[in-house]
Amino acid sequence: MFSRKVSYFIDRGECYSLGNFEDNKIYFGRYLSYVTRIERLTERYNELSLKMRSTHSRNLDGMPKGNRKYFMEDDIVELDEIEHRINSLKDESLSFKREITNALDHLDNPDCSAILEERFIYKKTMSVIAEELHLSDRQTARLYSQAMNRYKFGS
């Protein structure tokens, strides 16, 4: 159908494909989607746990309530199911995380490796990464862009 137009630029005698950037975002995004789902489920798990630990007794003020009665067993079953889903997602994501960290460990520039690891494994913003690595925001963005364009991660 449509062929993707790939641009190239020359830097110090080396040719880089700008198509690598989008491919690399997709490659790293596989793991980030797991991280996002795990965070969402963990938040739901914590909310439900807090609800179950609540020491407040039910308000018996004589006013009619809804038809559905509250049973703590329902929450226990849901908590167990959420915990199972979290563990399942963690197991599935582990192979992606190992693949990514292995690829990052073999980069030439350790700063590029650190930036990509913080960004795609620990899901930090670029400004936080710059602060932690004691680099300017501009330098961090340049190294990030250089690594994403220069290297081809995944297959």
Q: Is pLDDT at 14 greater than 80 in this prediction? A: no
Q: Name residue 16's beta-bridge partners.
A: 9
pLDDT for the residue 19: 63
Q: Name residue 71's beta-bridge partners.
A: none
Q: What is the pTM of this model?
A: 0.69
Neighbours of 111 (CB within 10 A): 16
Q: What is the mean pLDDT of residues 74-98?
A: 93
Neighbours of 53 (CB within 10 A): 7
Angstrom distance (rounded) from CA 141 to CA 84: 38
pLDDT for the residue 7: 38
Angstrom distance (rounded) from CA 68 to CA 2: 55
